[in-house]
Amino acid sequence: MNDLLRQTCHDTITEIKHAGLYKNQRVISTRQGTHVTVAGQDYLNFCANNYLGLSGKQELVDIAKQAVEQYGFGLSSVRFICGTQTIHHELEQKLASWFHKEAAITFTSCWDANEAVFATLLTAADAIITDELNHASLIDGMRLCKADRHIFKHMDMADLEQQLNDTQTKRLRCIVTDGVFSMDGDVAPLKAICDLADHYNAYVVVDDSHASGFMGATGRGAVEQAGVLNRVDIITTTFGKALGGSNGGCIISSASVIELLHQRARTTLFTNSLSPMIAAVTMFVLDYVDQHPELREQLWANTDYFRSGMIQAGFTVPTSVHPIVPVMIGDGKIANAMANDMLNEGIYVIGFSHPVVPMGKARIRVQISASHTTDQIDQLLTAFTKLGKKYKII
Ligand SMILES: Cc1ncc(COP(=O)(O)O)c(C=O)c1O
């Protein structure tokens, strides 16, 4: 081992620790769910993106087992060599029809989808106009692309319009936003974005990872909730949150966009295809979402119950409606200490501090699931109230 490399890594880790930013992983020995076991202790889990409670569900495990029997474990190949099975085509057709679009392409993650979506479709002749708080995967995807990048202030439509005005000479203009922003759970103003895109002849990319499966009347996401499913040009999303919780992601768009992605996207040309068992489970989950509207209703009822309980208890939580509920603490050290203390109350939540969120805006991010019971949410409220008083937050 090269000593200089070893020492450089060690020094950087020491810096991370001194800055109080070192992340300790808590290791779960059970399936994902409302109850998890960490180091032999049972906890109520309130920090998974398990919005519909499907991760770890037995029906999904059974479908995965059947798919492994039929299609095997994996393909040892990228898509265009010998890595495409019937199940990949079936899933892509289903995703297209489920989202009411022409075509879809799957990836092994939404991260890979977001890496593909800019560099493949845009050149130096084009411009990307992007919300300042977009997800890291969108930011890295844009970095791989030669188009000019213009950043608009978070959800600020006047600033977006200014950037559209300033880029009139460009060939293509692509507006990019998360459907829901993961730190605050705030929902992008998608109708206003589409109106501006129409006016300035730009196109719109929405990463709906925190909304696909449960937002909107039929669970098609923030794009459906805003009434712009048919106006957004490209949707990217993950299978790793509400839609089963494993891996995988996709891009849904017009036939020509998807065809070009198959030809040119480096994260499909040079990396293995999605595991067939995940493709099969995702097909099942899309039907499951259609057949179980009560899960969405339960999720919204649970979210509302928790949010109003916290406001009543005197906590500051932003006014959004999303099951991501950031409990604002302010000081990063207090947020982390409080999240650790929550473990003693049998509750698993995580504190977020600088640089993940702006300085002074540390929070404990709670994520509600359809599978939480009222009793469990009451336990969460009781624990927050107890510790909120201890740390003089309320
Ligand atoms: C908005 C958003 N986009 C993309 C991703 C990446 O998804 P995946 O885990 O499928 O790579 C995440 C995951 O945290 C996300 O929150």
pLDDT digits (tens, 9 = 90+) for 326-359: 999 999 889 999 999 999 999 999 999 888 888 8
DSSP 25-84: PPPB-S-SSSEEEETTEEEEE--S--TTS-TT-HHHHHHHHHHHHHH-S--SSBHHHH--
Whole-angstrom Cα Rg for the chain: 22
pLDDT surpasses 90 at 362: yes
pTM of the model: 0.97
For 128-172, write each residue's pLDDT tens digit.
Answer: 999 999 999 999 999 999 999 999 999 999 999 999 999 999 999
pLDDT surpasses 80 at 79: yes
What percent of the chain shows pLDDT beyond 70? Answer: 100
Tell me if 87 sits within 8 A of 71, measured CB to CB: yes
Considering the domain 58-291 in this protein, what is its CATH number? 3.40.640.10
pLDDT surpasses 80 at 21: no
Give the alpha-carbon dihedral of 232, 234, 239, 242, to 10 degrees: -10
Structure confidence at residue 346 (pLDDT): 97
Structure confidence at residue 22 (pLDDT): 82
246 flagged as catalytic: no
Rounded Cα distance, 265 and 120, in Å: 6
Band of the pLDDT at 23, cuts 50, 70, 90?
Answer: confident
pLDDT surpasses 80 at 177: yes
Question: Per the residue annotation, which of 137, 182, 369, 371 is the catalytic one?
Answer: 182
Q: Which CATH class is domain 21-52+293-390?
A: alpha beta
241 flagged as catalytic: yes
The CATH 3.40.640.10 domain(s) of the chain lie at 58-291
Supply angle C-alpha 218, 220, 224, rounded to 5: 90
Instruction: For ligand 1, pick from 111, 241, 322, 365 the residue to mutate: most ligand atoms within 8 Å of CB.
Output: 111
Neighbours of 48 (CB within 10 A): 20
Rounded Cα distance, 241 and 238, in Å: 7
Kindly state the tokens that stand for 307.
């949010």
| Distance from residue 15's CA to the centre of ligand 1 (Å) | 27
Instruction: Give the residue-averaged pLDDT of 356-371.
Output: 93
Question: Per the residue annotation, which of 135, 210, 322, 372 is the catalytic one?
Answer: 210
Tokens 């949150």 sit on residue: 241
Instruction: For ligand 1, pick from 32, 133, 135, 246 the residue to mutate: most ligand atoms within 8 Å of CB.
Output: 135
**Beta carbon of 249 within 6 Å of any ligand 1 atom:** yes
Structure confidence at residue 339 (pLDDT): 95
Structure confidence at residue 217 (pLDDT): 98
For 209-246, write each residue's pLDDT tens digit.
Answer: 999 999 999 999 999 999 999 999 999 999 999 999 99
210 flagged as catalytic: yes
| Distance from residue 142's CA to the centre of ligand 1 (Å) | 15
The CATH 3.90.1150.10 domain(s) of the chain lie at 21-52+293-390
Tell me if 363 sits within 8 A of 357, measured CB to CB: yes
In angstroms, the Cα distances linking 249 to 13, 48, 241, 327, 353 are 32, 18, 10, 29, 28
Instruction: Give the residue-averaged pLDDT of 241-262.
Output: 98
Instruction: For ligand 1, pick from 110, 246, 251 the residue to mutate: most ligand atoms within 8 Å of CB.
Output: 110
Give the alpha-carbon dihedral of 86, 91, 92, 98, to 10 degrees: 150
Candidates 115, 262, 281, 310; CA nearest to 213 is 281
Averaged pLDDT score across all residues of the chain: 96
Instruction: Give the residue-averaged pLDDT of 289-314.
Output: 98
